[in-house]
Amino acid sequence: MSPEETSKPTDFLREIVAEDLKSGRFKSVRTRLPPEPNGYLHIGHVKAFMIDYLVAKENNGELILRFDDTNPAKEETEFVEAIEEDARWLGIEWVKVTFASDYFDELYEWAKKLVLAGKAYVDDQTPEEVTANRGTLTEPGKNSPYRDRDMEENMDLLERMKNGEFPAGSRILRAKIDMAHPNINMRDPAMYRIINEPHHRTGDKWKIYPMYDWSHGQNDSMEGITHSLCSLEYENHRPLYEWFLDQLGVFKPRQIEFARLNMTYTMTSKRKLRRLVEDKIVKGWDDPRMPTLRAMRRRGYTAKAITDFIDRVGVAKNYSVSDVALLESCVRNDLNKNSLRRMAVIKPLKVVIDNYPEGQTEEMDAVNNPEDSNAGTRKVPFSKVIYIEQDDFQEVPQPKYYRLFPGNEVRLRYAYFIKCTHVVKDDKGEIIEVHATYDPSTRGGDSPDGRKVKSTIHWVSAEHAKQAEIRMYDRLFTRENPEEGDEGFLACLNPKSLEVLTGYVEPHLDSPEVGSRFQFERLGYFCVDKDSTPYKPVFNLTVNLKDTWAKVEKKGK
RNA sequence: UGGGGCAUGGUGCAACGGCAGCACACCAGCCUUUGGAGCUGUGGAUCUUGGUUCGAGUCCAGGUGCCCCAGCCA
């Protein structure tokens, strides 16, 4: 890359990295992706992932995927695989996969060094005593009665903790810093605790497990990470991060914090998401309404749209809540350019074209994607009885409504102009059929006499259409911030977050490949669900098209 | 009442002492065989009070507001 082509840093974080390179503090860049394998990746993780990945990539550096598996009670191999799969789907590349548990032996040696140096001690206080003696935000803590025991005893006790001689919770290894420190993280923080649980990688080898603060920075150092990028809540931990590294006198990476991603109408708390799954409010972790990557993928979101969204959100230290409308805009933007157009009717209304010959079928030419001339055309069958959208007909039209109504002429996309003549109702007064006549000279949708119609509507031929299940998704919550308020997120669940419809799709959607995406003209973007069968395809609404009429209608009310 | 951090249109991000700009959203119009897309345009912001300076969103001082921290979670 020539200097002209080198794009300049676009945010504070990239500026810091660039300066570090320029000043020689670091000669190259290596970052790490530190997920805890205790859940599925969600949209909130993507921001951190992309920053770690891109900062390394933009500087010709390396990214290491390191699982933070320091708590055997919560972590599982299943999530390791799921996280790798999701991250790869996003397009993230790493030079190797490591685990915090890979470094348990070496980390233990480093802990002994601190004990030897009088910088760490074994504390026999109960968890309650530790808490009580930590002090408060405004009051200093009290030294543990075990704080000054001699180095030999500490070494002996630590070894025996490791060997499983003591019950869980009975002792911890603590750093010896300052119980009166104004930053509570510096008040002799725990380094190791005793946990009697098998670990997903090390089995029952270990009875003590390192805390995040003791593990993370040391692992960063061991791996030669130059920039350890994390969210704002770790800002208070940076002094401790640096303290450990300074005491050990080892390679010292730089921790930089940035604001995590929050999104309107979306909740990313793992605990609360689990609640949605366990209470069967959604159908699982990949329910298309969930903010998990597997769910978004199933819903039809593209990796490109998601990473574009993250790019547009930017990186800063402000607490922020991004508008889900921006995400939707990104996915529309991608799919508009890249998805094939098809016709589908999701709330069917039968239309009989009285002057069209009985039994006749014509093949109409339809453009596959007006945004992409390479996408070609297809033939769509047309016949006397068709389905149109219920929303595209009003017996008594509202002001500004210019779709089909008695006496009005509209264009059937790629077919003919039709004019509504009358309707047929059942005993209850419900419209069951709309009757119309067509103008044979308008084949293809052009009028030789230059006559204009105000509206073009989509349709499918009743005889040729394929039945399909259409799952119409809407946001899960009715409040911008679902976690706000006394009643919590359960009080603002959107009862209409899923509406299952049976509609008709054109024959070209007979047996579409699972995961393929289409624009159903005038409706939105849809993705073929894995629940599809050869008899009945299932489509998930990814996002609707912008609907100006819906806005007009809403305003009228 | 401790420590750390952050304040720019509705939302998110820029402006690195020199005309406050971009995207999304919003509104109006043009165009349209998708009321989609596209195009054009309008409106709307520097938390506050002082100070430094020819000039402050930016630097300095005070105030205010919001976020994070008292797990043997990460």
**Can you tell me which residue has the tokens 């074209």?**
A353
For residue A53, how many C-alpha atoms fall within 13 Å in the half-sphere facing its CB?
17
> Nearest residue to B6 (CA, C1')?
A318
ipTM of this complex: 0.97
| A344-458: CATH topology | Ribosomal Protein L25; Chain P (2.40.240)
Rounded CA separation A174/A532 (Å): 56
- Angle between the N-to-C axes of helices A77-90 and A303-313, in degrees from 0 to 180, rounded to the nearest 10: 80
Q: Which H, E and C letters describe A276-292, residue by residue? A: HHHCCCCCCCCCCCCCE
> Nearest residue to B10 (CA, C1')?
A323
Please give the nucleotide, over all strands, whose C1' is closest to the CA of residue A209: B72
Rounded CA separation A10/A54 (Å): 12
Please give the nucleotide, over all strands, whose C1' is closest to the CA of residue A554: B35
Per-residue pLDDT of chain A (557 residues; tens, 9 = 90+): 333 334 567 899 999 999 999 999 999 999 999 999 999 999 999 999 999 999 999 999 999 999 999 999 988 899 999 999 999 999 999 999 999 999 999 999 999 999 999 999 999 999 999 999 999 999 999 999 999 999 999 999 999 999 999 999 999 999 999 999 999 999 999 999 999 999 999 999 999 999 999 999 999 999 999 999 999 999 999 999 999 999 999 999 999 999 999 999 999 999 999 999 999 999 999 999 999 999 999 999 999 999 999 999 999 999 999 999 999 999 999 999 999 999 999 999 999 999 999 999 999 999 999 999 999 999 999 999 999 999 999 999 999 999 999 999 999 999 999 999 999 999 999 999 999 999 999 999 999 999 999 999 999 999 999 999 999 999 999 999 998 876 789 999 999 999 999 999 999 898 899 999 999 999 999 999 999 999 999 999 999 999 999 999 887 76
| A3-258: CATH topology | Rossmann fold (3.40.50)
The nucleotides of chain B lying under 7 Å from a protein CB are 1-8, 10-14, 16, 23-27, 33-38, 66-74
The model scores a pTM over 0.80: yes
What's the CA A484/C1' B56 distance, rounded, in angstroms? 38
Residues A502 and A470 sit within 8 Å (Cβ to Cβ): yes
Rounded CA separation A361/A384 (Å): 8
**Predicted pLDDT at A557:** 63
Q: Which residues of A are catalytic?
A: 36, 260, 270
Q: Is the dihedral of CA A57, A59, A65, A69 positive or negative?
A: negative
Please give the nucleotide, over all strands, whose C1' is closest to the CA of residue A328: B24
What's the CA A15/C1' B17 distance, rounded, in angstroms? 20
Which of these, A364, A392, A391, lies nearest to A379 by C-alpha position?
A364
- Assess whether the region A270-340+468-556 and the region A344-458 belong to the same CATH fold: yes
Please give the nucleotide, over all strands, whose C1' is closest to the CA of residue A520: B34
What's the CA A319/C1' B63 distance, rounded, in angstroms? 22
**Predicted pLDDT at A115:** 98
Helix (H) or strand (E) holding A498: strand A498-505
Cα radius of gyration (chain A): 31
| A270-340+468-556: CATH topology | Ribosomal Protein L25; Chain P (2.40.240)
Which of these, A315, A127, A137, A134, lies nearest to A236 by C-alpha position?
A137
Extents of the domains making up chain A: 3-258, 270-340+468-556, 344-458
**Predicted pLDDT at A64:** 98
> Nearest residue to B2 (CA, C1')?
A138
Helix (H) or strand (E) holding A57: helix A43-58
